[in-house]
Structure 1
Amino acid sequence: MAFRRANILFLLCALSYALIAVAGESYYDILQVPRSASDEQIKRAYRKLALKYHPDKNPGNEEANKRFAEINNAYEVLSDNQKRDIYNKYGEEGLKQHMASGGRGGGMGMDISDIFKNFFGGGGDMEEEERIAKGDDVIVELDATLEDLYMGGSQKVWREKNVIKPAPGKRRCNCRNQVYHKQIGPGMFQQMTEQVCDQCQNVKYEREGYFITVDIEKGMQDGQEVVFYEDGEPIIDGEPGDLRFRIRAEPHDHFRREGNDLHTTVTITLVQALVGFEKTLKHLDEHLVDISTKGITKPKAVKKFKGEGMPLHSSTKKGDLYVTFEVLFPNSLTKDQKTKIKEILG
């Protein structure tokens, strides 16, 4: 009787864990692979997603950072055969209980950088056949006005590129080197390498065009890029490159940019330089900056207006505005004017 109860209890526990596994199974969705995915499929999916959502490519994007952490957590489980098997049977909760009970296979707190490093330049142990070919990046120079860089803006750009389409026939694809051992004598083996290729649907390139809206953010610098990941040139049996719009700041008639600061020159008369003046300066967004003074302004004098420069990219702060004053001297003076000036200044 006791044995029968134990069996029933065991079945109920197993059933509850299975229900948890079905309800909470999400690691495959996170990596965008089927439940039957091979180890190689999981590695490739991880590499692609980790590159896309890496914090270095998404500065200040909390959603991307969260997604990056989820991707690494999912890969840590699905890349480990023991953890994956437990996860498939009992779900995330069963995996946690297994690790809490001292289960083998490593802790759940593996450093994300250790996983990422194995793929992108730190481990050095990635097999050549696991590397994914990537198409060429496309770089487009995008002219932007200083007004756009100050206030933000967008441009609609026509884009034409090659697109991979199905074609009649079959082709050799997924070529890889397979190592095997051949016996050449009693107790003697020779290591051999053979290229193995699968047969896939044939493909061809077709040219397609469409409009892309490129957002120019406030404070972007000359040479900074707006990247559309995987929208560059495609490659058969690989990942497409990226489309990069490189900002090229157009010269402005009145303002000159240096970093996050703006510089401009204002011409005043000799009288204004001596007795002061009231004057406003129209900014890039057409708001007026008061540059008046009551004192004497020397030729080439520079006045600083704090916070009236360019906005800092991804920040609420701004640089400064520097106004250089040029004094307009008269070309000639009459005898009477010279006498009066001597009387005043002499």
Structure 2
Amino acid sequence: MVLRESSVKRDYYEVLGVSRDVDEATIKKAYRNLAMKYHPDRNPGDAQAVERMKEINEAYAVLSDAQKRRLYDTYGHAGLEGYTQADIFRDVDFSSLFREFGLRDLFGFGDSLFDSFFGRRTTTRRGPRKGADLRYDLTVTLEDVAFGAEKVIELSRVEQCPACSGTGAEANGLENCSNCQGTGQVVMEQRSGYSVFRQITICGKCHGQGKVVKKACKECEGKGVIEQAREIELIIPPGADTGYQIKIEGEGEEGDGLRGDLYVVLNVEKHPIFERHGDDIYVQKELSFTTAALGGEVEVPSLNGNVKLDIPEGTQTGTVFRIVNEGIPHVGSYGKGDEYVVVKVSTPTNLSHREKELLREFEKLRHKSEHERHEQDDKDGISTK
């Protein structure tokens, strides 16, 4: 339900060449096969292989993590909108993976190559990140947006686990990372002749946290978050239309710092009587043959109830009447649209014998009247052609 669309990326399952229902072992096997194919050791100087490896690493980092995979399966790339590059790769120890695969550790290639694979990282610990924004699609009636309405919605969202306060561990279930001795950083040394170059990077095992989970929290199974249902009240403003977005700050998913925001996107359902065009509404009105011919006053439906409409004599099918200020309010400003009444003249059916006689008499009178009018026009020198 995340609102914003992420930049165009390939589907992560497609990148790894697996189906959506595979288990973690299958994902790791697919990643290993692709890493063996596109690792820089196998493709020296190949820029395309570097880009492919970057894509593979990101797909594996998401699909190998239960929480990120759940978000991706539910919302696609937009589900990870609030994640930084550091967040994406947080729980993947690529150093161990490459050693397991018999490949050279990418950390040994220096900053430029490391950046191309994982995005630029600093030696400082990451700051708080805002939680992911959520999207909720809400169907409303035409009356709701004509007059405004209060609604209560229920949505499920990811919240910090109250049992472990988001650590993912039981009480006393964290321990210092053995790879960095709790500092969150590792020092890499490279020798070149008599020179020694030192490079400080974020620890690949704990991702700069200095701690790793020894005993996972039972409530959240080590994820640090749980899915929680919540009711939220909101107001539909008069004049809103399909696609209108209502932003509710701080009602998105949990982050390390601020919560994300919730975006409620409206869908106005089709009305059985009225048809909306912008802020104007259109309605069909059927007129009897006699009312259309003789004129009169009729009632037509509006959003505010029935209103009177004067029908002039001789009204034809397709005639449109305008009723000012009976449409939809202009959202965020003053005034309203109009209502347009489209007339359809109804032809009588199942006529009685007497009604038929009267209509035939009416037809004779019409012919006689037209003939007399034509004769008068000829006398007056008026051409009817």
TM-score by length of 2: 0.48
Instruction: Using the TM superposition, name which of 326-335 and 217-226 deviates more.
Output: 326-335
From 182, 197, 209, give the equivalent of 1:198.
209
Is it true that 1:343 corresponds to 2:343 in the alignment? no
Q: Which position in structure 2 is the counterpart of 1:223?
A: 243
Q: 1:185 to 1:304 in 2, by over 3 A?
A: same
Q: Which position in structure 1 is the counterpart of 2:231?
A: 211
Cα contact 1:179–1:191 (8 A) shared by 2: no
* Structure 1 residue 335 displacement after superposition: 3.5
* Structure 1 residue 171 displacement after superposition: 6.9
CA displacement 1:38-92 (0-9 Å, x = unmatched): xxxxxxxxxxxxxxxxxxxxxxxxxxxxxxxxxxxxxxxxxxxxxxxxxxxxxxx
* Structure 1 residue 313 displacement after superposition: 0.7
Q: AA paired with 1:213?
A: E
Q: 1:211 to 1:335 in 2, by over 3 A?
A: same
* Structure 1 residue 184 displacement after superposition: 5.5
**Structure 2: tracts of 5 or more residues without a match:** 1-119, 165-170, 214-222, 371-385
* Structure 1 residue 221 displacement after superposition: 0.9
Q: Which position in structure 2 is the counterpart of 1:140?
A: 136
* Structure 1 residue 268 displacement after superposition: 0.6
Q: AA paired with 1:271?
A: T
Q: Which position in structure 1 is the counterpart of 2:59?
A: none
Is it true that 1:245 corresponds to 2:264 in the alignment? yes
Q: Which position in structure 1 is the counterpart of 2:155?
A: 159
Cα contact 2:292–2:311 (8 A) shared by 1: no
* Structure 1 residue 272 displacement after superposition: 0.8
What are the within-5 Å matches in structure 2 for residues 8-27 of structure 1?
Answer: none
Distance 2:304 2:225 in 1: 46
Distance 1:219 1:172 in 2: 57
| CA-atom RMSD in angstroms | 3.5
CA displacement 1:111-132 (0-9 Å, x = unmatched): xxxxxxxxxxxxxxxx755686
Cα contact 1:172–1:198 (8 A) shared by 2: no
Distance 2:128 2:359 in 1: 83
What are the within-5 Å matches in structure 2 for residues 308-327 of structure 1?
Answer: 308-327=326-345
Q: Which position in structure 1 is the counterpart of 2:254?
A: 234
Distance 1:195 1:302 in 2: 72
Which one has the bigger strand percentage?
Answer: 1
**Structure 1: tracts of 5 or more residues without a match:** 1-126
Cα contact 2:246–2:263 (8 A) shared by 1: yes
Instruction: Using the TM superposition, name which of 197-206 and 254-263 deviates more.
Output: 197-206
Q: SS of 1:147's equivalent?
A: helix
CA displacement 1:211-259 (0-9 Å, x = unmatched): 2112111000112122222322324x35543322221111111111111
Distance 1:142 1:179 in 2: 49
Q: SS of 1:292's equivalent?
A: strand
Q: 1:198 to 1:329 in 2, by over 3 A?
A: same
* Identical pairs, percent: 23
What are the within-5 Å matches in structure 2 for residues 265-280 of structure 1?
Answer: 265-280=284-299
* Structure 1 residue 201 displacement after superposition: 10
**How many equivalent pairs are there?**
218
Q: 1:336 to 1:261 in 2, by over 3 A?
A: closer
What are the within-5 Å matches in structure 2 for residues 114-133 of structure 1?
Answer: 133=129
Distance 1:177 1:267 in 2: 77
* Structure 1 residue 298 displacement after superposition: 1.1
